[in-house]
Chain A
Amino acid sequence: MLSLKEKDRPIIRKLLDAGCCGRCVLRFCCVGKYSSYQLSIEDINKQLLAFLSEADDQPSCEASDPTQTEDPPSKKLKLETLQAGDDGGTETLTANAEPKVQSEICVACLGVLQDFCDQSYTTQLQVCDAVRKGEYQFDSLMLAVSLPAQLSVREHSCWLHVKKEAEKSMCLDKEDLVQVKDAFKWATQGMVGKDLGASVLTNSGFEVSVGFTHAETDGDCHFRATTCSDCFKPTKNKASVFTRMAVVKALEKISDQKFLNYPCPPVHPATRCTPLDTTLQHASVFIARYNKFSRELPQTPWVIDGERRMEGSVEELIAGPLLSSFRADFNFSSSGREDVDVRTLGNGRPFAMELLNPHRARFNKAEIRQLQETINTSSDKIRVRDLQIVTEAMGRMKEGEEEKTKTYSALIWTKKPLTHTDLDFIKNIKLKVDQKTPLRVLHRRPLAVRQRVIHSMSASFLDTHHFKLQLHTQAGYIKEFVHGDFGRTKPNLCALMDSEVDILELDVE
């Protein structure tokens, strides 16, 4: 069953006429059911024809099982086209010709979804073989698909071809279409996973990349090189200016009218895509928590205008020992960050260190404990705990602990001389704070007012101008709560104490 809707009929007819393959037709009908793409291309084509041949008054919205139709499709199709002709409207244009599934190479996907979604390519020939030869350790994998840039141009052309019909159906916009690479993944991931005995996930440390090129139609991308030269600027690292991103950008800018210099629907290719070698990338992710004991240590290398502002960083202190054991590149990410002069105490801040392409990814507990020990003995400025290895952590890390509450401890200076009783009001106080995006991050974050809750506060008197403030609060901008950020965080300690106040030190616990 293909989950097609009544309104899809004119789109299906037009696309088949134009020379699209069955899977591309499903994409343009926004079919989101994976199993529809997993049928063989022959079955999909058969079911599409059967669906078109159904009488309009039939209540079923699903494509019928072709085995139940006794009449050959062509006979019913004639009936259907006649009726469509009577109705008039947009369908008459195409209804004169009998729709048939093209046996040629698909004009939209250049064969990617026709010839490369079956067993012979995925499991035997290319993909799984390459994985097996790589001798990697893995329990899961993700598929990455790189496609020739001209597919975007052809996609746009096909979209304009059925735009009028599509806008009446479920698909309101080009963005709603199922992308070629997704259709490819849906069609193949079951086979690949089964063959390799691993689960295929959308996010895994082990990335299997397949790719295709199509030299015959590379010229498709040149459609706007002269009129949109700013989209196609040469860059150092790229062999061609017609990158996928550049093409997509140019397509966004062009009006439908101007685009029609390009044939719509696209012309038939003579050859199908050529598959590239399957490449493998293995990332192992270590997750852990770190403490930072120094007030002169940034979290990541602090470089402004190409100049280093401070020696060392948390990232480098953690990565150093790991890298000498693995000889791999890495990505560091963490759940939030502290300022250079803020220490991180208590349980520490969660972080992830992703090693790129180490062939080794399985470690026993003793080995991991040893790695942690090596990191911790190499510096007294930081300490790492709970080190463990995972294969798919990066995504989760970022959502992470942002909303959880933390305990902060701050050293506060007040301009007005203090007495013990001046701090009494701070005890047992719960506050709702309205915070405009702090000025110090406003250049890179949207302007908004966010409400933060301070669950509890306490203060201990140190001398007439200093006290220690403890806050239990949602992760947020504590410095701004203290000095007020030009009155943009309300209430703030400055206003509550009716004195100029400043935060001299801050620790997170």
Chain B
Amino acid sequence: CVFAMEEADKTAPSVTDRYYTRWYKTDMKGKPCEDHCILQHSNRICLITLAETHPILQNGRKIKNINYKISDGCSRLNNKVSGKSKRGGQFLTEFAPLCRITCTDNMEYTVFSCIRGRLLEVNEDILKHPDLLLEKPSTDGYIAVILPKLEESKSITNGLLTREQYEEVVSKRTSQQQEPC
């Protein structure tokens, strides 16, 4: 059989770009440059990731610790879902913390849910291999998977920025010569 190679050059969209829409939340909770990126699949499932401009991903920083235990009584690691309806998953609101990440310079950052929905899973691989988060923040280094309610699958992105809007914010930031993040 004959393969159509032309379609397959390096400019072809990646797996992520083909099936997911990127949404952004910049300066999360007013903290400069703490940008989050939400990947929404066409089936409404969302992955929460760090946007490439997030301070953790700048200037060759290293991660000391990632902690999914967000308070004394609540750890995202205890999240369990069962059945097709994902019973038992923790329900998250926009500002629900997912995890806290401490860098080797002792700066601590909190990653937030950004959207309302049921927590399906957190990425435990980054606990063992924190470098995954630094090297592949938008794929294997994701933070969590969230399933929005069916009736909210369109409205959850209302407060988020599109890729273009995000790029605009970032370019304004650099032109205003803000402090480097």
Contacts and interface: CB of A to CB of B under 8 A. Distances in A.
A431 interface: no
Given A447-B86, A483-B15, A440 B125 contact: no
B45 interface: yes
A479 to B, nearest CB: 8
A436 to B, nearest CB: 8
A446 B5 contact: no
Interface in B1-53: 1, 3, 5, 7-8, 10, 12, 14-15, 19, 41, 43-45, 47
A486 B140 contact: yes
A444 B140 contact: no
A416 to B, nearest CB: 11
Given A440-B19, A500-B14, 12 more contacts: A442-B45, A444-B84, A446-B83, A447-B86, A486-B47, A486-B123, A486-B142, A487-B125, A487-B132, A502-B14, A504-B7, A505-B3
Q: List 10 A-B pairs, minimum CB-CB distance, nearest first.
A: A487-B140, A443-B43, A483-B15, A504-B8, A413-B8, A411-B3, A447-B81, A446-B83, A486-B142, A486-B139
29 contacts: A411-B3, A413-B8, A413-B12, A415-B10, A436-B121, A440-B19, A440-B43, A441-B43, A442-B120, A443-B43, A444-B43, A444-B84, A445-B84, A446-B83, A446-B84, A447-B120, A462-B3, A465-B8, A465-B10, A466-B5, A484-B140, A487-B136, A487-B139, A500-B14, A502-B12, A502-B14, A502-B15, A504-B7, A504-B8
B99 to A, nearest CB: 16
B59 interface: no
A439 interface: yes
A65 interface: no
Contacts of A446: 81-84, 86
B2 to A, nearest CB: 11
Interface string A19-33: 000000000000000
Contacts of A487: 123, 125, 132, 136, 139-140
A443 B44 contact: yes
A156 to B, nearest CB: 25
Interface in B48-66: none
Nearest to B139: A486
Interface string A152-190: 000000000000000000000000000000000000000
B145 interface: yes
B3 A466 contact: yes
Contacts of A465: 8, 10
A463 interface: yes
B92 interface: no
Contacts of B5: 462-463, 466
Contacts of A462: 3, 5
B147 interface: yes
Contacts of B125: 487
Interface in A483-497: 483-484, 486-487
Contacts of B47: 439, 486
Interface in A332-369: none
B53 to A, nearest CB: 20
Bin chain B's interface residue count: 20 to 34
Which of B82, B139, B147 has the largest count of A CB atoms less than 10 A from its CB? Answer: B139
Interface in B81-108: 81-84, 86
Contacts of B1: 507
Nearest to B84: A446
A439 B139 CA distance: 12
A439 B45 contact: yes
Contacts of B86: 446-447
Interface in A457-482: 462-463, 465-466
Given A415-B10, A484-B140, A502-B12, A443 B3 contact: no
B145 A439 contact: yes
Contacts of B123: 486-487
Interface in A309-347: none
A483 B14 CA distance: 10
A462 B140 CA distance: 28
B149 to A, nearest CB: 11
B81 A466 contact: no
A484 B138 CA distance: 13
A486 B83 CA distance: 22
B110 to A, nearest CB: 22
Nearest to A505: B3
A447 B144 CA distance: 14
Contacts of B12: 413, 502, 504
A504 B3 contact: yes
Contacts of B41: 439-440, 443
A353 to B, nearest CB: 27
Contacts of A444: 43, 84
A501 B121 CA distance: 25
Interface in B104-161: 120-121, 123, 125, 132, 136, 139-140, 142, 145, 147
Contact of B121 (A411, A443, A447, A483): A447
A445 B121 CA distance: 14
A174 B145 CA distance: 39
Nearest to A490: B125
B79 to A, nearest CB: 10
Contacts of A502: 12, 14-15
B119 to A, nearest CB: 11
Nearest to B3: A411
Nearest to A463: B5
B22 to A, nearest CB: 14
Contacts of A447: 81, 86, 120-121
Nearest to B147: A443
A411 B83 CA distance: 34
A444 B83 CA distance: 9
